[in-house]
């Protein structure tokens, strides 16, 4: 059985050093500000600086990983005799997965004896990261590339991905909410509680008044959906709002005895569309 390397992309919002420790390789999406010619990766600008620019009114735009970037990275491993398993950013939110799929199809012709499996996690941020982590753990247990891929696919319909945003204007720019809803929500202090559905797309699930109520609604979803029979960590990602992270952690611990094991930044790739103050919760559930 050939060894294999797990790949992902920066949509997972996990630090490069964390992925490297797990033996996972990653390709980076890029972002730019206000149509500027300079494109950055997540590693090239501190998250705090990114959100500071957004709060000053700068508009960030993102670009997917292209086919050639995946081709080059995958081929490095194929030439070493390794197979490749890619766990990618939701195709419902980015064309990055499609780039990886095209690269894999092209490389299969050149390396017919190698295995290249690409899996659309239908997840984003640390939800994608949680799938990567749990799949790495399966590999450590001796899972073959096919077994690891099937394991990851089995997690996808059970990955709880719930989040809220602080300012609806950012979702309005991306067409996620209407201008009227964004205006009224801003005036009334309405906070949406959103979900990534089974197609990997963002959908609003409820609207509550006030930030604390939004965090409580997320904790309630954990209590309703979390599969406590599975030994899996709980992750939180945030867009420069550590105080809210602590409050959500407190709610989860006091009401559901749940410990949050990983807190990560919502990076520029996702933060460009959701804005500063984004807060997201990820866990393995009975269903999405």
Q: Quick check: 201 and 93 in contact, CB under 8 A?
A: yes
Q: Quick check: 250 and 105 in contact, CB under 8 A?
A: no
Question: What pLDDT band is residue 195 in, cutting at 50, 70 and 90?
Answer: confident
pLDDT exceeds cutoff 90 at 171: no
Question: What pLDDT band is residue 202 in, cutting at 50, 70 and 90?
Answer: confident
Give 200-214 as a 3 state SS string. Answer: CCEEEEEEEECHHHH
pLDDT exceeds cutoff 90 at 257: yes
List of E strands, the chain: 4-9, 25-27, 30-33, 60-63, 83-88, 116-120, 159-164, 190-196, 202-209, 234-238, 260-265, 279-284
Q: What is the mean pLDDT of residues 134-152?
A: 97
pLDDT exceeds cutoff 90 at 200: no
Q: What is the pTM of this model?
A: 0.92
Residues in the chain, overall count: 288
* The two three-digit tokens of residue 273, written as one number: 């569309």
Taking residue 140's Cβ as centre, other Cβ atoms within 10 Å add up to: 10
pLDDT exceeds cutoff 80 at 14: yes
């Amino acid at each position: 059985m050939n060894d294999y390397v797990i790949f992902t992309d920066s949509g997972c919002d996990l630090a490069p050093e964390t992925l490297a420790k797990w033996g996972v390789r990653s390709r980076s999406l890029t972002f730019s500000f206000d149509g500027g010619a300079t494109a950055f990766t997540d590693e090239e600008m501190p998250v705090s600086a990114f959100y500071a620019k957004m709060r000053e009114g700068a508009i960030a735009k993102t670009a997917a990983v292209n086919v050639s970037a995946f081709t080059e990275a995958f081929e490095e491993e194929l030439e070493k005799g390794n197979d490749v398993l890619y766990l990618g950013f939701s195709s419902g939110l980015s064309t990055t997965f499609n780039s990886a799929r095209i690269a894999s199809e092209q490389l299969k012709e050149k390396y017919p004896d190698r295995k290249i499996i690409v899996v659309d996690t239908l997840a984003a941020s640390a939800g994608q990261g949680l799938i990567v982590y749990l799949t790495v753990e399966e590999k450590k247990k001796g899972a073959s590339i096919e077994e690891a891929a099937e394991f990851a696919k089995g997690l996808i319909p059970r990955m709880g991905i719930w989040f809220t945003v602080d300012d609806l204007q950012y979702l309005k720019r991306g067409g996620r909410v209407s201008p009227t809803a964004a205006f009224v929500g801003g005036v009334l202090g309405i906070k949406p509680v959103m979900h990534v559905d089974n197609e990997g797309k963002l959908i609003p699930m409820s609207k509550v008044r006030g930030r604390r109520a939004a965090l409580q609604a997320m904790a309630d979803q954990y209590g309703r959906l979390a599969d406590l029979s599975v030994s899996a960590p709980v992750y939180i990602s945030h867009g420069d709002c550590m105080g809210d992270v602590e409050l959500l952690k407190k709610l989860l611990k006091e009401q559901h005895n749940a410990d949050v094991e990983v807190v990560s930044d919502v990076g520029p790739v996702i933060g460009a569309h959701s804005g500063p103050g984004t807060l997201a919760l990820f866990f393995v559930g009975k269903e999405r």
